[in-house]
Structure 1
Amino acid sequence: MARPGKKTPPRGKARRKTTGTRRTRRRSAERPALFERVLRWLLFGVVLRTAWWIGLRAGVVVAVILGGTTWYYYETLPPMEQLLDGRDRGSVTLLDRNGRTFAWRGEQYQTLRAADASPHLVNAVLATEDRRFYDHFGLDPRGIVRALVSNARAGRVVQGGSTITQQVAKLLFFENTRSLERHIKQIPVVLAMELRYSKDDILSIYLNRAYLGAGAQGFEAAARRYFNKSARSVTPAEAAMLAGLLKAPSRYAPTSDIEAAQGRADVILGLMEEQGRLSRVEADLARALPAELSAAAAARAGSHFADWVMGSGPDFLTGATTEDVVMATTFDPRIQRAAVQALDEVFETRVKPGSKAQAAIVVLSPDGAVRAMVGGRNIGRAGQFNRAAQALRQPGSAFKPMVYAAGLEAGLDPNSLVSDSPLTIDVPGSGPWSPKNYTRDYRGDITLTEAFRDSVNTVAVRVSEYAGRGKVRQIARDLGIGQDLAQGPALALGVSEITLLELTGAYAAILNGGRRSEPYGLLDLRLKQDNQLLMGTDRVPPVPVLSETTAGQLVYMMSEVVANGTGRRAQLPDRPAAGKTGTTQAARDAWFVGFTGDYVTGVWMGNDDNTPLRGVTGGGLPAAIWREAMLRIHEGLPPSPLPMLVPPPPRGLAVAASDVRRADPVAENILNSVLNSIFGLSN
């Protein structure tokens, strides 16, 4: 009810008045907000225009700089052919006696063009390194994004984003530059390369400069190193194995770990199949028949010989050469195979499985030319230690030819009688020393030939003392043994440490009529490019050391060792042979060194840690290895006679003593006293 005296406004008018007031207030509030928005847009436009202005000019500056540097690199890049070989060092190609390559050293290299390579090899490289190589301009944003995604999912780096062109730029200019700096700096180089060279040119540079392990620079050298074939004809499995080396050449080199190399190749085959570069059937076949090393690569044929002969030339032409050189050698692969097969045959059939015993073999021609060298068995971590040329071991009785050569030069002959009886020598500073025979018994008076044939120690010492230790050492040195030799009477029993190669060379001199036959392997050294002769053979001219009579008599005595003595297991069925056994104290070393009319072969057996062998003497397993090797070496060769001088019926010093007895009894007593006290000779 309305109050009296006061009018109530109509409802409609009151509402209109209230609504109008609100609208007025809203408009008043919206005016500043609209103004702020307009002002904000105006400011944003100014900033945007400013940024665009700055960005445009910065872009122009960057484009000018990029264009200028790209043009600079474009003008300065050399012809593609000059970029194929990126080695710091050269290579040495080793040829055998027939002129065929059997080994490489250094960074070997052989040119390969992309157009000539096996399509499987090109596909394997592109599948793993740059699948869009032929579609991008040197930089691949899609590839970078794909790599980032793959790495993020894996939580580690599993894929790179660099193109092959970028990798070539790195190899050429930025190998020692940090990653971020390299990626920035290589942009103009990559663009310049894409402008300067064709895609096939860039790929050719990559195929030739990539290092693929085992001294192989480029895919052609690697294919020949691992598969003994050209990269032009590799199979999908071989191509995948080669491409797999790009990730880690040392780790995946098939010469160091064939299983790891095959596993990496399976990954590459999967990529090739996924990208349509191989059909499923082809990929399955390649997985079922994985790539294998060639026989030569697997056997590392001639590796010990190659390492040894590399030392024959000056280091600047061999080990540190910056040129590609060719070394012609005396190596004979047929004889090398014979030696390896003989060693394997004996260890497989006559040695307890799992034996850690080592062995070495050297084969020479009579003039000292080294035809084969087996530096050890490939067991455990045997490595590349060359037991034939590097191991210093005691030769035992295998040293006795030097002792008997001194005795023959001093006037003895194969029929001279010498006493096999107990002997004691006072060694200054050491006291009395008494040599013992292997059989621990004594036979009285025996001929020099019998003593040598049966390896009688007391007689060897008496001969050494008679001829003089200095004479024995001198003959050994003249025959090519360069190590320091023992000074005491034990010299005669082979207690001095020497190498198998030295000892075999001394035996070669005996076969060579007493003329020194120092082992040699180098025939000549030439530049590969123009065949220019750099160095001739390292053969030492033969120098007479022994008289022909002494050498001939010694050959006869050594033939008796094989025919009737301690080396009977070395007998050959179709030709004469001569040699000498050797077994050191406690059987730590066992030797057999001998020859036919054509070849001289030395065999050593022992343990690397110098522990004793079990049940092995020089006349046992070493003689058996020697025989197996010589049977194979002489296969198809006609027998050659030995240059031996067979002695007349026995007279020697015993007869001379009888003549003295009849002529002068006093002289007889004096002579017997001297011979018995000094030499032990008797009538």
Structure 2
Amino acid sequence: MVNAGNYRGSMNVTDALATSPNTAFAKLISQVGVGRAVDMAIKLGLRSYANPGTARDYNPDSNESLADFVKRQNLGSFTLGPIELNALELSNVAATLASGGVWCPPNPIDQLIDRNGNEVAVTTETCDQVVPAGLANTLANAMSKDAVGSGTAAGSAGAAGWDLPMSGKTGTTEAHRSAGFVGFTNRYAAANYIYDDSSSPTDLCSGPLRHCGSGDLYGGNEPSRTWFAAMKPIANNFGEVQLPPTDPRYVDGAPGSRVPSVAGLDVDAARQRLKDAGFQVADQTNSVNSSAKYGEVVGTSPSGQTIPGSIVTIQISNGIPPAPPPPPLPEDGGPPPPVGSQVVEIPGLPPITIPLLAPPPPAPPP
């Protein structure tokens, strides 16, 4: 499995959600387990996955649900989105997180008025608290970096003049044949997809959106631009927009899950500190590029939060400084200048004009 781009070797969940490295989420589902990930997806709103017969595209003779199919096959790629889902259910997942972990059945009816102007009572289905509020709120905060700094949707947010807190996630298929974006605040949630719905779909390219031989469509292109352009005019129509507070229990993790720092210790002392914290220590150390002197303990893998009692490998400097990271996107320089625009038509909404951004300049040769 490879990433579409260059990423540093270790990052927390917040940074991973903002920059979308495949390998971070593949590792996460390997630690959590496919079954738990599927069950959580259904809880949050992907309810159709539990319906019998939904796996017939993969096994025509079976009445198996998609959820059972993924669990039986132990599909770790589930975390990367290889199985179809509709935008309504994806929006419903976002709405659950935006509502403090309360799932409600999607309902297109907001209010019913009779011919005399009187409101008619509408029977509503029961909403359920499917995950603790602290967990939903903390995840909403963790997803709030996608539209700022080096987040994958930051360019789209800047081009739309978006200046409100929000949570979001971009998504792109492996062959660039489709891409999407889901975004939400404490007031609303929405998702959109861009894809080729022909019988023989091909790769798609961005700026302008078109068929091409080698696709470069990402969720941070047209999908996120569409979301911000559509939501910007109504962003303040439903009350104050703000991020919920995080819950320290989900920021700090379970007791015994934080790997202690061992940088600067000798190897024996580092091993003892890790064992005292309840972790197993790998027999072999790992040599890594570092500006520290040769042979010095510089860290561990994993570091930060991990599963209590798991195996930790001590990292030793090989004395070779690492390559410098790529320069970050300027936070005060604004988005790249638009080079044109594209009109996207969505049924039930007025035409949406999306600015097309100039591509970044190529990196200088090494």
Q: Does 1:458 align with 2:43?
A: no
How far apart are the structure 2 equivalents of 1:681 and 1:662? 12
CA separation of 1:522 and 1:553: change in aligned 2, threshold 3 A? same
TM-score norm. by structure 1 comes to: 0.32
| 1:636-683 residue CA offsets vs partner (Å, 9 max, x unmatched) | 6664212142869x977454475984446598772558x879989767
How far apart are the structure 2 equivalents of 1:544 and 1:468? 23
Contact 1:437 1:456 in 2 (8 A): yes
Contact 1:523 1:536 in 2 (8 A): no
CA separation of 1:532 and 1:511: change in aligned 2, threshold 3 A? closer
Q: CA deviation at 1:540?
A: 3.1
Amino acid at match of 1:466: Q
Q: Does 1:625 align with 2:212?
A: no
Q: Does 1:499 align with 2:64?
A: no
CA separation of 1:456 and 1:647: change in aligned 2, threshold 3 A? farther
Bigger Rg, which one:
1
Q: Which residue of the other structure, out of 422, 426, 436, is the alignment partner of 2:2?
A: 436
Structure 1: which 5+ residue stretches go unaligned?
Answer: 1-434
Q: Does 1:670 align with 2:256?
A: no
Q: Which residue of the other structure, out of 134, 143, 148, is the alignment partner of 1:563?
A: 148
Q: Which residue of the other structure, out of 178, 184, 189, is the alignment partner of 1:595?
A: 184
Match of 2:130 in 1: 545
How far apart are the structure 1 equivalents of 2:86 and 2:8? 33
Q: CA deviation at 1:528?
A: 7.5
Match of 1:445 in 2: 10
Match of 1:643 in 2: 244
CA separation of 1:506 and 1:672: change in aligned 2, threshold 3 A? farther
Contact 1:588 1:607 in 2 (8 A): yes
Q: Does 1:612 align with 2:175?
A: no
Structure 2: which 5+ residue stretches go unaligned?
Answer: 50-65, 207-216, 263-268, 284-300, 315-366
CA separation of 1:666 and 1:597: change in aligned 2, threshold 3 A? closer
CA separation of 1:557 and 1:437: change in aligned 2, threshold 3 A? same
Match of 2:108 in 1: 521
Which has the larger helix fraction? 1
Size of the aligned set, in residue pairs, is: 243
CA separation of 1:476 and 1:519: change in aligned 2, threshold 3 A? same
Amino acid at match of 1:472: A
CA separation of 1:513 and 1:532: change in aligned 2, threshold 3 A? closer
**SS in structure 2 opposite 1:501?**
helix
How far apart are the structure 2 equivalents of 1:622 and 1:646? 31
| 1:357-383 residue CA offsets vs partner (Å, 9 max, x unmatched) | xxxxxxxxxxxxxxxxxxxxxxxxxxx
How far apart are the structure 2 equivalents of 1:604 and 1:560? 21
How far apart are the structure 2 equivalents of 1:477 and 1:671? 36
Q: CA deviation at 1:605?
A: 0.8
Single out whichever of 471-480 and 652-661 deviates more from structure 2.
Answer: 652-661
Amino acid at match of 2:26: V
TM-score norm. by structure 2 comes to: 0.57
**SS in structure 2 opposite 1:551?**
helix
How far apart are the structure 2 equivalents of 1:551 and 1:647? 12
Amino acid at match of 1:581: T
Contact 2:274 2:281 in 1 (8 A): no
Match of 1:184 in 2: none
**SS in structure 2 opposite 1:590?**
strand
Contact 1:586 1:612 in 2 (8 A): yes
Q: Which residue of the other structure, out of 33, 41, 44, is the alignment partner of 1:479?
A: 44
| 1:97-146 residue CA offsets vs partner (Å, 9 max, x unmatched) | xxxxxxxxxxxxxxxxxxxxxxxxxxxxxxxxxxxxxxxxxxxxxxxxxx
Equivalent runs, 1:77-476 vs 2, <5 Å: 435-439=1-5, 441-476=6-41
Alpha-carbon RMSD across the aligned residues, in angstroms, is 3.6
Which has the larger strand fraction? 2
How far apart are the structure 2 equivalents of 1:476 and 1:662? 39
Q: CA deviation at 1:509?
A: 0.3
Amino acid at match of 1:447: N
How far apart are the structure 2 equivalents of 1:596 and 1:448? 19
